[in-house]
Each structure stands twice: as structure tokens, then as C-alpha cells.
Amino acid sequence: MGKVIANLRQDGQALRPGQIVQGKIVAIYPNNKAQIQLGTTLLIAQLEAALEVGAKYHFQVQEGREIPQLKVIGEALRQSQLSNAESLLQQFGIKPTKGNAEFVELLLQQKIPFEKDQLQQAVLLLDRAGNRLLAQQVLLEMFSNRMPITPNIYLSLFLRESNEFYSQLLLLEQTLQQEQKLNHQVKQQLMTLLARYTGSSENYKFELVQRLTDNPATFNFLKAIRFINRDMQYSDWGQQLQQTNKQDASVMVTEYNHNRILQVLTNILPKAPVIRDQAALFLQTWGNLLHESVTKGMALPEEQFGKLTYDLQQTMRTVAQQVDFQVLNTPKDLRNIIIDLEILANQENQTKIGEHHTRILKDLFLEQTRNVLTQSGLNYEKVIHQEEMNPQHTLKGLVTQLMQQSDGNTQEVATRLLHFMNGVQLQSIQESDNFLQAQLVIPAGKFGLSSDIELSFEGTKNKDGELNKEFCRIMFFLELNHIEKTVIDMHVQKRTISLTILNDYPIDETIHHLKSGLKEGLAKIDYQLTSVTYKPLSNNQLADKKDKIPEKQHETYRGVDYRI
């Protein structure tokens, strides 16, 4: 009867008894043997049923005494995949509705093996789904990655795909603020931990303001736009901020507390290049006249001062909603205009501001990444199983305790977050013998982004079973406030890096300006940047983040693999 090929696989996955696969009869040989194609794999089978060369059939894998068996289900398949799906549903006693048939059609098109029991469970979940399209996507992922088709796993993945990590954390934080009946210790620990992810605590905001303004260039910029009182000295700024934090107001910072400062920094600093260009144009128009007036110690004629005031308001319209930029027609005020506009128009000053804030953003990103890796409890079950440490004080451990101690809305919010985190765990690692893919979700609300940052790492394994850092691919999936959906595709080969940036906005010039800084930064850690390429994102065939298991090559004629 021949022998079964060892570790036989269908598109990289070993076939199991009960699975339904679609196969094609490629050739029929003497002694009732036939060559059949299952997905990308060619097999030799012993025929015990009359089959037609070139025809396609549905087969169910069954146990056999000597070799596995493939049971033919129904007649030869038709051209219409949808009709074949309906026929298969009827064979299984499942109602062949349009929605059910479309889902089975997707399984067949993508050559994903499935079992009758799995399909029955999937149909039940689809029937209850509000968002059927997303439900199909989630179930296809579950089938493809050979996950059990259970309501809990489905719900976890569904919530993962339809929600943001940051929004779930923020919702729990807001819910706990209203909760009065909880165990004080659990609530306090959770609130402290959640604040690290959301950045919503007053202490975090104050520390961020300190870090952002702990730089002479930024300080002078804020003075130049009249947000900080012109009499304030940089040496006194830190102490004044401390006083602002304690008193929730400041004489020298125009009645604004640190929340107001943070709002201005967030809204105005990204517009610094525009303000620079507007300031330079204003000085080009009015600079000589202002210098002449200041030198003579004279005010401007009223008509000229009116025009200057109008032009100045137009120049500063970018910050008009944030600060009150008023001037008097005196030599002192006119001199201050020159000083302030020269600061705003100074390219070196803008560069220092950009470099300072880039460093802070990098530090914030690394801090948040460490929070996710060390404090979230995404390895909660592994730690418990191996008894490495007590995971009860991680985010997942505390949320689990909260579920047990609460009821009503608080319990519901905690349960949703727990399911979401389970979904993140389920998607975190995909691997085969030699290939590894890992995904990481970073809550990005504290960076001012509305969506999470997602990272995908993929490549071959090294001898220790870890990702080979010498040859790998890292992808960043971002939703940015101004240029929206962005994908950064980074290929690493030994110590060289090539980048492809995918976005639908014209960002070529921006990339060009950033390239030299990126090249220098990578050189400092002994990496060489070889290329930076821009491509439009629309209609770009990005690789699926979830399915990276390489396909097995076609097998050749080696005797009998299956009996049909």
C-alpha cells in the first residue's frame, strides 16, 4: 500500500483527522493509484472510489489502519465556488444561507483546512455577530492559525480588532474614578499603573511640561510668542513651574497651570516651522523701519503702526487662539517685536527645539514599550505556570482581581479589557520550525495619537530559537494626526537597514529632511542606512501581519500517501 510521507503538510500545516480539504485529481496511475493536489502539496493516493482526472473534490481526512484516508464528500466540484460551499454545508446538515456559504467560500479560496465541528461553531458565532465582516475576518484568522473555535477566543480577538488598547485603558481609569465600593489597595494599584499607560495623571502632565520646556530654545520660543512673560528668566523657570504646580496658577505664566502649558506646547510647537517662515517674511517687510524707529527712540506714525499691527496679527495668526499678542507703539515694545520675531525666524533655534522634542518623544516611546513588556502581564499565564514570580501586581493580574471584586459596569469594563488583552496575547507570536513573527501593541494616547502603535517583527530563528536580529523585518503601523495612516517597513541585513515608508500624503520632502538625522543616529549604534523609499499606501499589497509561515514545496511521486 506504500508509505505515508513523514510530517505531511498542507500549506505548511500537518493535516489532521477530521479536516476538510479541497483537492484536485492530477493524474491516475496503474493499480488504482492517483496523484492528487491538496493546496500546494502533491500526494499519491490509493483509490477505492471512482474519481475523474482533472476534477476537484472535497475530502475529509480520516484515520486509517496503515495510512490516513481521504473520504470523498459529495460529487465533483462545479466551477462556482459558492455553489460548492452550499453543497458542502448541505452535506454537513448546516443551513446553506448566503452568509454561511460566503464564509465557507472564503475558507476554500484561501485553502484553509477546517473540520465539521469547527464550522458548526463558526456558523453559530457568525449568526450572533453585529459586524459580520469583522466576524468573518476574526474567524478566518482563528481557522488559519489553528485556534480552537470557542466563544471566548473569538470574543478576545474580536475586541482586539475592533478597539484600541489606549481607549480601553482610559475607560477603565475613568470608571475607577467613579467607583466607591472597591478594595482600596487594588483600586490604588490599578490607578497608579493605568496612569503610566494613559498619561492622564496631573503628575505625569507636570513632569512632561518640565521635560519639554527644560531647554533654552523652547523657553525662548514660548517667550517670543508671548506665552511666557517676557520678564521671566530661564534660570527661574524650573522653580516657577514648581510653584505653578503647587498653586495651580502662576503670575509669571499668565494665569495658566501646567495643563494650559501642555495644551499650548502640543498645539503650537508642531507649527514652529510655519511660524518661522511667517516671522522671516514679517522682518523682511518691517525690519528696517522698526530698527530705524528704535534707534531714534521714536514711535511709528499712527498709519504705519496700524499697518504693522495688522501684519503682525496675520503673522502670528497661527498662535492667535492660544496667546494674546498685543503691542504698544513705543520704542520699547517695537524693540521687543524685533527680538521676538528674530527668535522665531532663527533656523538654528528651530533645529534645537526639534532635536530636543525628538529625544523626549523617543524616551516616552521606550518608556511606554517597557511598560507593555514588563508591567502589562501579557505573559501572565506563563509566569504562573513556571512559578517565576508573582504576576498579581501586573495590569492583567490587577484587572483579574478587579473582575472578582466588582459588579455592574465596573466588572463589564474590566472584563472587556481582559478579553482585549487575551486577544493581544493570542496574536503576539506566530512561528514554525524556522520562522518567527511577533506583534506588539503600544497604547499611544499619551503621545497625542488617537490610535495604538503596532509593531510586527518577523524573520528566521537563530540557534537559540529567537528572532535572528541580523536578518529580520520590522514593520510599524501608525495612525498619525496629520498624515494619517502610515506604514514603515524596515529590512535589516547584518548591520544595514533599508526603509520603505508608505503613506498617501506627499511627504517626499519631509523624508529628505529627516534622512540625514536618521543616518547619523543609526551610525551611532553601528548600523548603516542604505536607502529610504517612499511609496503611496493606497492599493499597496502589504504582507499580511498574521500569516508568515512559509509554504512547503510540492512533493514528488513517492508511493502511496493516502487512501481515498
Where in the chain are the domains? 1-145+554-564, 214-345
Q: Checking DSSP bridges between strand 33-38 and strand 41-46, what pairing results, if any? A: antiparallel
Report whether 442 contacts 368 (CB < 8 A): yes
Work out the average pLDDT over 60-71: 71
What is the three-class DSSP state of 39?
Answer: coil
Q: Is the pLDDT of residue 549 over 70?
A: no
Percent of the chain whose predicted confidence (pLDDT) is above 90: 34
Report whether 427 contacts 157 (CB < 8 A): yes
Q: Is the pLDDT of residue 386 over 80?
A: no
What is the per-residue pLDDT for 273?
Answer: 79
Q: Is the pLDDT of residue 3 over 70?
A: no
Confidence category of residue 551, pLDDT binned at 50, 70, 90? very low
Cα–Cα distance between 275 and 120 in angstroms, integer? 62
What is the per-residue pLDDT for 41?
Answer: 80
Confidence category of residue 67, pLDDT binned at 50, 70, 90? low
Confidence category of residue 398, pLDDT binned at 50, 70, 90? very high
Work out the average pLDDT over 338-357: 88
Work out the average pLDDT over 187-211: 85
Q: Is the pLDDT of residue 387 over 70?
A: no
Percent of the chain whose predicted confidence (pLDDT) is above 70: 86
Q: What angle do CA 168, 169, 170 make, to 5 degrees?
A: 90
Burial of 295 (0-12, 13-18, 19+ CB in 10 A): exposed
Cα–Cα distance between 554 and 562 in angstroms, integer? 16
What is the three-class DSSP state of 252?
Answer: coil
Cα–Cα distance between 523 and 521 in angstroms, integer? 5
For residue 47, how far is the Cα from the chain centroid?
50
Which of the listed ranges 79-88, 146-155, 243-252 does the model predict with the highest average pLDDT? 146-155
Q: Higher model confidence: residue 244 or residue 525?
A: 525
518 is written with which cell numbers?
536618521
Q: What is the pTM of this model?
A: 0.78
Confidence category of residue 109, pLDDT binned at 50, 70, 90? confident
* Average pLDDT, rounded, for the chain: 82
Per-residue pLDDT tens digits for 488-531: 999 999 889 999 999 988 887 777 777 888 888 889 889 999 99
What is the per-residue pLDDT for 163?
Answer: 93
What's the order of all strands across the beta sheet hosting 496-502?
429-431, 435-442, 453-461, 467-480, 484-493, 496-502, 528-535
Work out the average pLDDT over 175-190: 87
Q: Is the pLDDT of residue 556 over 50?
A: no
Burial of 191 (0-12, 13-18, 19+ CB in 10 A): middle
Q: Is the pLDDT of residue 50 over 60?
A: yes
Confidence category of residue 147, pLDDT binned at 50, 70, 90? very high
Closest CA to 341 of 222, 224, 217: 224
What is the per-residue pLDDT for 457?
Answer: 93
Beta bridge partners of 461: 467
Per-residue pLDDT tens digits for 290-303: 999 999 999 999 99
Measuring CA to CA, how many Å separate 450 from each of 50, 92, 263, 429? 60, 45, 16, 25
Per-residue pLDDT tens digits for 260-285: 777 777 777 777 778 888 899 999 99
Q: Checking DSSP bridges between strand 114-115 and strand 33-38, what pairing results, if any? A: unpaired
Q: Higher model confidence: residue 373 or residue 549?
A: 373
